[in-house]
Amino acid sequence: MKDKVELLLPAGNKEKLDYAINYGADAVYMGMVDFSLRTMRKGEIITAENLKDTINLAHSYNKKVYMTLNIYAYDEDIKNLYANIDLIKDANPDALIVSDFGILNVLRNKLPNIDIHISTQTNTLNSEAVKFWRDFGATRVILARELSIRQLAEIRKNVPDIELEVFVHGAQCVSLSGRCLLSDYMTHGERKANHGGCSQPCRWKYKLLEETRPGEYYEIEETARGTHILSTKDLALINYIPKLIEAGADSFKIEGRTKSLYYVSAVAKAYRRAIDAYYNNEKVDEEEMFNQLLKIGNRGYTTGFYLDEQDHEGYSYDVSKGLAGADFLFEFWDKARKDNKNIYKIKIKNKILLNDNIEVITPTECFETNVLKIYNDNEEEKEVGNTNDEVWVELSNEPKNFKYALARTIGIKNVR
């Protein structure tokens, strides 16, 4: 067991891995194309060609990498796994996250020296199931989200000799531990939920149709937008970190391998602060902690099952996409000198205007500043920086270290 709880962040691509670690992750989990339940399509995605370099990057920070092999596999997937065994062994991940018995059997035989973590997809809910996985050789079980903190504490008491990982933040699935078939059926098998291609039909809008009245659609709830009857709110347990630590969790997992670079960084920063405050015996402003999460894309937040009774307000009936209390404005890329002042090369994510008041976050800072100047590469001053532009800016207040700095709108300050 760990002396200090681990903060585990998603690494959907190599860049997000780098930012997650610099914003406070102790470990990251990542998938390789073909074997992961979340498939990235942007950035430097993790492939056979860069798998080892990506893991080496994390190891250079003395952080751990857990590789997801958590699809439910067909025979052709098992053949593909055999073909990639030497690649995985050479890449040297710290653990492999598994849900399928066939994959588990292959890994136990072929990679016996790499730790096995049992995926939440196995829906592990009780002490006897945890003992089974322990006796089967697993070093960690990622518990189902359907457990309460009280039940977590009971499992820890009954099975003290295995690591327990719990989700503390991020999107939830309407299906038990995420084992959903809706995507398979609604895309005619083209987007298999348990094979890395979920199309998220739980986020779609639905209306009621009575079979003898074709074409007559009824709103399930009276709203002009229809209703998202399957769409759960996102999990957020930042204000329950002490209770979860004391219940015996070894690792806190953040969901979101397909989320943005800003999401990964800002969530890591918030939960790093909460965890460190507990161990340093510091009092935290819970409202402010929660407000930091409101600045990140979300469908509304819920405590799920963790407080012994399901949060009956845990469904987002009118919102399916994440709405953020602050907009991600730009990444910092470079720094130069102009007229004896620092200017920064930035990559714009959402439009900025001259004189905008914005907020900058870094791994160690969070402050407000003003956009004093905007320049293009020809050093011509601009009034506007548009989405996807690469421009230079001068700021009234600058980060102490611009590497990994991100900018957002001021957003929510005092709204719970």
Q: Give the pLDDT of residue 305.
A: 86
Comparing 110-114, 229-233, 393-397, the range with the smallest average pLDDT is: 229-233
Burial class (CB in 10 A: 0-12, 13-18, 19+), 201: buried
Q: Give the pLDDT of residue 416.
A: 39
The pLDDT of residue 109 is above 60: yes
Write the secondary structure of 159-215 as one string of H (helix), E (strand) and C (coil): CCCCEEEEEEEECCCCCHHHCCCHHHHHCCCCCCHHHCCCCCHHHCCECEECCCCCC
Decide the pairing of beta strands 217-218 and 208-209: antiparallel
Q: Give the pLDDT of residue 37.
A: 46
* Inside any domain, residue 162: yes
163 shares a domain with 42 = yes
Separation CA 206–CA 376 (nearest Å): 46
CATH code for the domain in which residue 390 is found: 2.40.30.10
Beta carbons within 8 Å of 86's beta carbon, 6+ residues apart: none
* Cβ-contact 250, 165 below 8 angstroms: yes
* Inside any domain, residue 100: yes
159 shares a domain with 26 = yes
Nearest in space to 308 (alpha carbons), one of 371, 214, 240, 356:
240
Q: What is the sign, positive or negative, of the torsion defined by CA atoms of 387, 392, 396, 397?
A: positive
Q: Give the pLDDT of residue 339.
A: 84
* Inside any domain, residue 273: yes
394 shares a domain with 344 = yes
For 270-323, write each residue's pLDDT tens digit: 999 999 999 999 998 999 999 999 999 888 898 988 987 665 555 554 555 556
Domain that holds residue 157: 6-175+231-302
Beta carbons within 8 Å of 256's beta carbon, 6+ residues apart: 10, 12, 170, 171, 263, 264, 267
379 shares a domain with 245 = no
391 shares a domain with 271 = no
The pLDDT of residue 408 is above 60: yes
The pLDDT of residue 378 is above 80: yes
* Inside any domain, residue 105: yes
Strand partners, 225: none
Decide: helix, strand or coil at residue 323: strand
Amino acid symbol at 219: E
In this prediction, residues 216-241 reach a mean pLDDT of: 70
Separation CA 94–CA 110 (nearest Å): 15
344 shares a domain with 297 = no
Separation CA 193–CA 176 (nearest Å): 13
- Counting the structural domains of the chain, the total is 2
* Cβ-contact 167, 253 below 8 angstroms: yes
Nearest in space to 300 (alpha carbons), one of 385, 222, 415:
415
* Cβ-contact 332, 338 below 8 angstroms: no
CATH code for the domain in which residue 77 is found: 3.20.20.70
Comparing 2-6, 36-40, 85-89, the range with the smallest average pLDDT is: 36-40
Its pTM stands at 0.85
For 148-196, write each residue's pLDDT tens digit: 999 999 999 999 999 999 999 988 766 656 656 666 656 766 766 665 6
In this prediction, residues 229-233 reach a mean pLDDT of: 71
In this prediction, residues 61-90 reach a mean pLDDT of: 94
In this prediction, residues 37-52 reach a mean pLDDT of: 70
Q: Give the pLDDT of residue 259.
A: 86
Separation CA 292–CA 33 (nearest Å): 32
In this prediction, residues 371-383 reach a mean pLDDT of: 94
* Inside any domain, residue 276: yes
106 shares a domain with 32 = yes
285 shares a domain with 386 = no
253 shares a domain with 365 = no
The pLDDT of residue 212 is above 80: no
In this prediction, residues 321-326 reach a mean pLDDT of: 71
Task: Give the DSSP per-residue string, 53-110.
Answer: HHHHHHHHTT-EEEEEE-SPPPHHHHHHHHHHHHHHHHH--SEEEE--HHHHHHHHHH
382 shares a domain with 341 = yes
Task: Give the DSSP per-residue string, 280-300.
Answer: TT----HHHHHHHHHTS-BS-
Band (pLDDT 50/70/90 cuts) for residue 227 is low
Identify which has the larger pLDDT, 60 or 219.
Answer: 60
In this prediction, residues 118-139 reach a mean pLDDT of: 95
Band (pLDDT 50/70/90 cuts) for residue 415 is very low
Separation CA 32–CA 285 (nearest Å): 39
In this prediction, residues 247-266 reach a mean pLDDT of: 93
* Chain-centre distance for alpha carbon 105: 28
338 shares a domain with 294 = no
Separation CA 209–CA 271 (nearest Å): 44
In this prediction, residues 78-93 reach a mean pLDDT of: 94
* Inside any domain, residue 308: no
Separation CA 100–CA 349 (nearest Å): 39
Angle at 22 between CA 20 and CA 27, to 5 degrees: 55
The pLDDT of residue 400 is above 70: yes
170 shares a domain with 94 = yes
Separation CA 275–CA 23 (nearest Å): 13
User: % helix / strand / coil in the chain, to the nearest 5?
Assistant: 30, 25, 45
Mean pLDDT of all residues in the chain?
A: 87
Band (pLDDT 50/70/90 cuts) for residue 125 is very high
Identify which has the larger pLDDT, 200 or 242.
Answer: 242
Separation CA 183–CA 175 (nearest Å): 11
| Domain boundary pick from 284, 302, 320 | 302
The neighbour count for residue 215, using CB atoms within 10 Å, is: 5
